[in-house]
Amino acid sequence: MRAQSYQAALAIANELCAGGSPFCLLHVHMRRNRQLSVLLGFAAVEQLLEGIEARIGKTLRPNDRVLRTGDSDFLIVLPGLLNTAHGELAAQRITREFEQPVAVGGRLITPLLTIGLCAFPDHGLNADVLLRGAAAAVDQALQAGRRIAIAAPFSDDVLLIDELRDALANNELAVAFQPLVSLRERGVVAVEALARWRSPQRGVIAPQRFVELAEQAGLAPELTRWSINASLREFAQLRELAPSLRCSINLSPKVFTLSGLVEQVSAALAIWGVPAKALVLEVTETAVMEDPEYSAIALNRLSDAGIRIAIDDFGQGYSSFTYLKHFPATELKIDQLFVTPMMRDPRAAQLVRAMVDLAHHLDMVAVAEGVEDALVLEALVAMGCDIAQGYHLGRPVDRATLAAVLR
Ligand code: G
Ligand code: MN
């Protein structure tokens, strides 16, 4: 019977989706079902749930529908409601209605209801997605200790994570290389390896997005392993053209708690015949701050193995100086946030100057990221910055294209 109600709710919602007009969907969950069943008996709780259904019905408009879809669950379809604000009013009417107890077998019971809310089309374009969204909102409300929660905006991250897992397993990601130019010698002294993902179905997915997804899904170790191996494999070919070239690889946050990181990196260097001193591992402060103690140990071991460490995106975040004190970094990469607007923002320029000096006082190499024009480049030279990177000097390109530049 409940399965049928669920199918009925799906059918009603799908029909409304097909109609195209906005509507809201509520998932009402009664808490403590099992507890009440133990205390009062199953028959009494069944009676209570029938009472609840009837009482919910009283708060609704003639075209609204309430359906009992689970042991402690109801779905309510509210046609014509424009957005979640309207849906929330309907949900509040229900919770208010149940501030008064319900009589069950000579006792008065106050049902504790939690309501998840979603709206078409904001949270999904078909009934299946909407019903799941409303159910997820119930979980969110329960976790947050709230009576009503609105579903998160429509997202298919779950599917995208599966696609990323496949892409990693099938080696569908690619490496792009961006040149780093020495401001003294005016030549390419290093390249930064950047992961790129072009999904056959979705097109290019921004690195920020898939790195974040990988972290959420616990795929950071796989992504790091892939990135170190693929980058070094291709870099080994570039090094044949320029033997003193270095390669920077970004280490994804959360990877420091990974056991065997140092061994993995050393093994990859050995396999691709790249000397440790040609490798720069870029780490961000967020990565290091996840677990500062473990990170310090891992970074010191990498550094002892002859690998260089760069602090990436310097200036973003909160605790920059703490790790400058503790971590064995040899390069400071000044975030593009400060570098790109240097010529129109004097404060940004002064901050870049201060960061270049800071790097030098710590015997570190100063690298400016996000150099987008010639004037910024000149200003950096005048400040004594060591290395620059940015669209003005070269965009990230595939290995063959970069090899042509090196030749
Ligand atoms: O966090 P990290 O510094 O590793 O990020 C590097 C990213 O910055 C790459 O995705 C690269 O495409 C991008 N990038 C490189 N040079 C420039 C630039 O000059 N301007 C902008 N806006 N982005 C850049
Ligand atoms: Mn970087």
pLDDT, one tens digit per residue, over 201-231 is 889 999 989 998 998 888 988 899 999 999 9
C-beta of 116 in contact with ligand 1 (< 6 A):
no
pLDDT at 253: 59
Residue nearest to atom 15 of ligand 1 (CA): 390
C-beta of 122 in contact with ligand 1 (< 6 A):
no
C-beta of 196 in contact with ligand 1 (< 6 A):
no
Which atom of ligand 1 lies closest to the CA of 176?
A: 12
Q: Is the dihedral of CA 251, 254, 256, 261 positive or negative?
A: negative
pLDDT at 256: 65
Specify the range with the lowest mean pLDDT, choosing from 72-81, 147-156, 260-269, 320-329: 320-329
Ligand closest to CA 178:
1
C-beta of 250 in contact with ligand 1 (< 6 A):
yes
Question: How far apart are the C-alpha atoms of 368 and 41, rounded to whole Å?
Answer: 71
pLDDT, one tens digit per residue, over 283-332 is 987 777 777 788 888 889 999 999 999 999 998 876 668 778 888 999 99
Question: How far apart are the C-alpha atoms of 327 and 335, rounded to whole Å?
Answer: 18
pLDDT at 134: 96
Which atom of ligand 1 lies closest to the CA of 250?
A: 4
C-beta of 194 in contact with ligand 1 (< 6 A):
yes
Q: Which domains does the chain have, with CATH numbers?
A: 2-155 (3.30.70.270), 159-406 (3.20.20.450)
Which atom of ligand 1 lies closest to the CA of 392?
A: 19
pLDDT, one tens digit per residue, over 96-155 is 999 999 999 889 999 999 999 999 998 988 999 999 999 999 999 999 999 999 998 777
C-beta of 253 in contact with ligand 1 (< 6 A):
no
C-beta of 369 in contact with ligand 1 (< 6 A):
yes
C-beta of 266 in contact with ligand 1 (< 6 A):
no
Residue nearest to atom 23 of ligand 1 (CA): 370
Question: How far apart are the C-alpha atoms of 205 and 196, rounded to whole Å?
Answer: 8
How far apart are the CA of 250 and the centre of ligand 2, in A?
A: 5
